[in-house]
Amino acid sequence: MSTKPWPTRACSRVSADRLRRRPAVPRRPRPSASVLRSLKEPLERLYQAFNHTESAVDPVHVVRRYDAPDDREVVAFCASALAFGRVASVMDSIEALLAVLGPRPAAFVRGFDPMADADAFRTLLHRWVRGVDLVALLSILQRIIVEAGSIESFLLAGYTTTDPDVGPALNRFCERARAVDLAGVYGGGDERRGVHYFFPRPDGGSACKRLNLFLRWMVRRDAVDLGLWSGLPASKLVIPLDTHVARVGRCLGLTRYRSPGWGMASEITESLRALDPQDPVRYDYSLCHLGMMDACGFNQPKRDDHCPLRGVCRPGGRRRQSSVGPFVRR
């Protein structure tokens, strides 16, 4: 693995400029202040219903097994990196990886030898992520931790308080991570480089769901999120946009975008920031699991028959006037 210097922040300024050039959105008005205020109470009830560790199966709860902050940081990054696909498959893949990392994952990463340790990863597979991609991921994490001391310090080296949100810092973070020479892992002829999937960039249009998920776990603190970091304010976070949050966000009128991407994630976050400027992703966990349990009927025949946000959502594209029903966990 190369020890060449990280790219400087100056070479990443183009990334911040490109981030501002988002795809055009339909010419529809943003949600009005009164509409957003009508969401506050039902979203808060939904949040309280999910704000405990037994509320849903989720990779974040795996991180709680570890006591040391450095272990939690490493496990959280790896778990969030694999958080795509069916929940059962995600959990199985995380458990398989953690079995290799052992009881002290941070120490494993610091002492990781890609050549000597690669065989232990050979049989690991999560959808299109191969064992060699996980070896490459750990090689990058090793470089980050050895040189910066922690993943937090590495991210904060590319963060400025004047950034509107975490997007520019993620561009710089991923640019520097992708700069690691992995020829010794992949060999000169492998162009697939699946490890890049773990380091998408907002300025390329990606919603960066898994990176934003990791940041939510690290920065926020409640019964679900761990709040290990102190250098990045929760107000700068962007919602981890997956298909569930995208569907619920459109149903609630939080975005004018139709296709998932950084633009949609940023706009949903901006709408939620009107409800809580200091913690705009407060409702992510509950909105995601609302979608996962198939309670949202956006553009479906069942509409909002089983939705705890009935009355403020728009399952067929038009806001209903009925009262908001109570949330029933199933």
Domain boundary among 181, 201, 233: 233
Q: Are residues 255 and 194 in the same domain?
A: no
Confidence of residue 88 (pLDDT cuts 50, 70, 90): very high
Which residues lie across from 125 on neighbouring strands?
130
CATH of the domain at 259: 1.10.1670
User: What integer pLDDT is reported at residue 25 of this predicted model?
Assistant: 58
Share of the chain above pLDDT 90, in %: 67
DSSP character for 2? -
Q: Are residues 41 and 89 in the same domain?
A: no
Contacts of 221 (CB under 8 A, 6+ apart): 227
Q: For 129-186, how does the pLDDT look when each residue is reduced to its tens digit (9 = 90+)? A: 999 999 999 999 999 999 999 999 999 999 999 999 999 999 999 999 999 989 889 8
Q: For 294-319, how does the pLDDT look when each residue is reduced to its tens digit (9 = 90+)? A: 666 555 555 556 677 877 777 665 44
Q: Are residues 243 and 229 in the same domain?
A: no
Domain boundary among 169, 199, 233: 233
| Number of structural domains the chain divides into | 2
Q: Are residues 70 and 188 in the same domain?
A: yes
CA 186 to CA 88: how far, in whole Å? Answer: 29
DSSP character for 261? S
Q: For 202-251, how does the pLDDT look when each residue is reduced to its tens digit (9 = 90+)? A: 999 999 999 999 999 999 999 999 999 999 999 999 999 999 999 889 88
Domain boundary among 233, 258, 288: 233
Residue 48 lies in a domain: yes
Which of residues 188 and 202 earns the better pLDDT score? 202
Residue 21: is its pLDDT beyond 50? no
Q: Are residues 36 and 97 in the same domain?
A: no
The boundaries of the domain holding residue 44 are 30-57+239-330
Mean pLDDT along residues 319-328:
36
User: What integer pLDDT is reported at residue 34 of this predicted model?
Assistant: 75
Q: Are residues 229 and 307 in the same domain?
A: no
Which residues lie across from 107 on neighbouring strands?
none
Measured between its terminal Cα atoms, the distance across the chain in Å is 49
DSSP string, 15-77: HHHHHT-PPP--S-PPPPHHHHHHHHHHHHHHHHHH-STTSS--THHHHTT--SHHHHHHHHH
Q: Are residues 158 and 76 in the same domain?
A: yes
Q: For 250-261, how does the pLDDT look when each residue is reduced to its tens digit (9 = 90+)? A: 888 899 998 999
Contacts of 218 (CB under 8 A, 6+ apart): 73, 76, 152, 226, 227, 228, 229, 232
